[in-house]
Structure 1
């Protein structure tokens, strides 16, 4: 394969993540950082009807692609986009992130796959079909408050805290006995911390939409009350932790969301300020690789942790989510993250094609 010293960045048109220039706020900083390193970079938009033209143009003129697309926002569904990326990888391009990485590290059921590792609560489960969800979730809820997470959501959309409205009833319910479908529940969505009072059966019918379709699923996880103390996110570029952000939810009522949209307060630190957590995650990396299908590390990815109480009363960190499909870092551009991304991307291409960067394009 010829070396072009060129990297394409894929986006899709429109969406709330776009700025006035039509791009994500962190896209052009990445492109400009790659150019500053002496390589070519440009942005191309994916449309299903352009698939063949995109494949021919990109496969003939680029060495790698960087995907800056939330799979849930792809026009026509994610399958066509994933198929294009897979074909480009088969043609010799270096993919960042590949569909395989997005489906292993980035899918919400990664948590269920880690349920026997100590990184997440052992009763974490994933539902891939409507029948198993309706059969199992009422029993799961009998053990206490739960959080349901859809696979496609971003910024808290389709992530629901579920609790019984009647606290006395909640105290009387015997764990392991399914909660009746007519039971009134309070459902709080992480996107904006709004709450709704619904019947369990009707709410589960509503949640069926998250399971149906390509890569649909729901993850069922125990609610951790100490989420009110905040989530702690590690952002990594390749294998390197770059910074840690402490995301503290807005105070009040049933608030638990740590998104900026919901009013959470963010504090940014260098990794050394959270060394215990950084060390824990470094130790967990081989476990993640073994459980999630390999150690092909995404280009830009995050791991979110919450606090829980260990059996001896000490603090314990619980993994709440891994993201790699389209991690944004708009608030950290002044920290030079884009230069680290460009350097890592170029080094991956150089390693894959066995050249040092000194060769002519």
Structure 2
């Protein structure tokens, strides 16, 4: 069945922008406005590869299109360079909340690594406080513009460094001030999740949820370590779980790890455009999210880095919907999956579904 046969009524990008969406995987330092980077760089004398915002945006997208996660990550040197003061962090966070809200995102969990923003002497607490002030301002300004959004913060520890316990403790200390979870990020190859097992065990003792980047640049061992050794609540990316699914006599046969992840409803934070850029997928059309969705995995659609992928959550949904012939029912399923996988408390999830998500999609049926 072709996409056109399955979904004869085309859902446009503009249609999807109007839909309430939930975002689980978005990096603060990967979503800056190009003109903001230029202004902040000028203020501190940081040299950029391009100075005009449009040219700079193109440079980021082209540089990220290398097919290598390692080269993709190099682009963050410029965004992190301009995020070293409390004012800069507050501005970037505020603009992120406003940009997502304008795209129809009603709840987002945005992640960043506080340890990467201390070059000018900010303490870890000061970094978190500046970002939280920015999110609060962004939520307020978005509401004044007619777009309601709530931001939950995930604190990342860099997986190639040795500060994961320190960042885990930071997350727990700020859990009642907007921080809802923890993650490890950075180069996956050679840096298995188990390297930070002590931090994950601490978070378990403190009843603090966490996700783990796994199954992007590395394969099944990384996913197994994240799930079975470290006990993650969600998987950042996880697209390589497809390596545990075989075609046997014309039917898809799941391996034990794939079965476990599906059966335990461990959510996959899939990022189609980013996965193509880093070589985790060949194309959006062959990405695998449609296949995983049909098999019953808890799939979700995410942006990863909006600047590097020149994307929005609405665009990601539109690309995937077009590639897989999705209609409103399929899009609703992804949004509901994301709500269920958030690190919100259960009553907040129920309220978000009943008051915002379900009424919109019911009107489309």
**TM-score above 0.5:** no
Q: TM-score, normalised by structure 1?
A: 0.29
The structure where strand makes up a greater share of residues is 1
* Structure whose alpha-carbon radius of gyration is higher: 1
The structure where helix makes up a greater share of residues is 2
